[in-house]
Amino acid sequence: MNSTSVSFFTLNHYRDVGLLKYLYFLILLMLYVVCLCSNLLLIVVICMNRSLHEPMYLFLCSLFVNELYGATGLFPFLLIQVLSDVHTISLPLCFLQIYFVFTYGNVEMVNLTIMSYDRYLAICHPLQYNTRMSLKKVGKLIALIWLFPFIEVAVMVSLSRPLTMCGHIINKVYCDNYSVVKLACFDTVVNNVYGIFYTIIFVGLVIFLNGFSYIKIFKVCFSGSKQTRQKALSTCSPHLASLINFSFGCFFEIVQSRFDMSNVLLTLRIFLSVYFFICQPIFNPLIYGFNLTKIRILCRGLLCQWCLRTAAGEC
């Protein structure tokens, strides 16, 4: 193919499933609605209640905002593609989607890492917690959560966008930077070096900080009283579950992007490629809503008030 003729990409993992596409559409739509409602509810609860204006809940609010951002960056596109008979995406929209995908993933990981640091301070240095995690510092950390990934991904996309393409088929259901770079006609050393350098630094730092925080937390738990262990588990278990869930999704996405997975069932490959986008935004509100007592009580109260007002309006 002539490289100058490439103005779109074909997403090759969509299949003609006949009338089943309407069932897939309804399932995705239901998941998207659940994601929107659950995350919005928790954002409203945290913002409206001053008792939740504490570092842990402010970081949670940032996490829920990112779930909305990530889900909105992918779900509407999947819904359109599932119903469509032509599975193509223009170059500008493809790179915009890459930006959504990677900023969501990076913000999620930075947010979860800072939350582990917050839990480390709360459990290992409780007397110094208020001074070491002041609201001013929380503001700076939240700014870091959002600014750093957006700048890093902007550099990555700016390196990929000028590449001349010699192919247009992407073996996924959405655009991915690695898949696009593989289609480039000429040398992509700069892209590869930047990707490897950033991955080693970023992933290495994330693993180190999370590992350090939880080693210290577990050390305090095992050497402390039963009450200390219970308090640590009640606040850390949702975060640890969220971190493991997201890491699991990212791991399989990276593996199937870099290695030949043709021997794996296509449906499973598609599910694993969108796992961290679909499951994480639904998993987080559920795990935090059920496990954190303050949030659970306030959510129940807010829903009860809404039901009473609705019933009164109908009367």
Answer whether 0.85 is exceeded by the pTM.
yes
- Segments of 204-290 assigned E as strands: none
Task: Please count the other Cβ atoms lying within 10 Å of the Cβ belonging to residue 307.
Answer: 10
Q: What integer pLDDT is reported at residue 234 of this predicted model?
A: 76
The predicted-structure confidence for 227-278, as pLDDT tens digits, reads as follows 777 777 777 888 888 999 898 888 888 777 777 677 777 777 788 888 888 8
Task: Please count the other Cβ atoms lying within 10 Å of the Cβ belonging to residue 150.
Answer: 14
Number of H helices and E strands in the chain, helices first, is: 10, 3
Q: What integer pLDDT is reported at residue 157 of this predicted model?
A: 92
Which three-class secondary structure state does DSSP give residue 11? Answer: strand
Gap between the Cα atoms of 113 and 247, Å rounded: 12
By C-alpha distance, which of 104, 58, 35 is closest to 285?
Answer: 35
| Domains of the chain in sequence order | 3-314 (1.20.1070.10)
The set of residues, in sequence order, having a beta carbon less than 8 Å from that of 217 and lying 6+ positions away, is 119, 120, 123, 124, 232, 236
Torsion of CA 271, 273, 277, 279, to 10 degrees: 40
By C-alpha distance, which of 147, 160, 46 is closest to 96?
Answer: 160
The separation between the first and the last C-alpha atoms of the chain, rounded to the nearest angstrom, is 67
Q: What integer pLDDT is reported at residue 2 of this predicted model?
A: 41
The set of residues, in sequence order, having a beta carbon less than 8 Å from that of 172 and lying 6+ positions away, is 11, 12, 13, 179, 273
CA 283-281-41 angle, to 5 degrees, is 90
Q: What integer pLDDT is reported at residue 4 of this predicted model?
A: 43
Q: What integer pLDDT is reported at residue 201 of this predicted model?
A: 86
The predicted-structure confidence for 136-153, as pLDDT tens digits, reads as follows 999 999 999 999 999 999
Low-confidence ranges of the chain (pLDDT < 50): 1-4, 315
